[in-house]
Structure 1
């Protein structure tokens, strides 16, 4: 049994007679317990950071594989000249997107628009 355990047991077993020495011992015990709580929190934070780093790494690898597979499917459907191909595990659809217009100089565009 450690010093802190003994102090806790004594306070639970009999009525507490507080004097300056006893109060100082209890403050010391609280300080030690708070230090242990800080250690536990730091350990947990470190472990969570390791787990988060692992998760991000694994997800990045899987996303890269998915992108590569999707690129292969896109190349396949473009080579068939079909818009939709139905397969047992789903369908591949080729959608043509709209042309995108980007204004490089907004001031010139607005001046010409107002004329």
Structure 2
């Protein structure tokens, strides 16, 4: 396995996602993370939003204390790069876009998604 330079990893922005989706081929690790841990990662590193829904961007802004904008970009997570994911507790029906209030109602957790290889 190729070793990544720690300086390069420390300079990579934390990606913000609204789902645990592999953005490219690789090996990923997903684990639970607290809001406090997520805030600390964002303070330590810069971040880039790949949040595709306005209500999720609002929720992450409120919860993380930073201005997260909806940003429907094609994002490719790099080896060594971390992502913070707001993962809903239930999958909405096809075609349904939840409001900020509905996100709170169904519940969510934060995940740390790391691309290992």
Structure 2 length normalisation: TM-score? Answer: 0.18
Higher relative contact order (CA 8 A, sep 6+): 2
**Greater percentage in strand:** 2
Report which of the two structures shows the higher radius of gyration computed on alpha carbons. Answer: 1
User: In proportion to residue count, which structure has more helix?
Assistant: 1
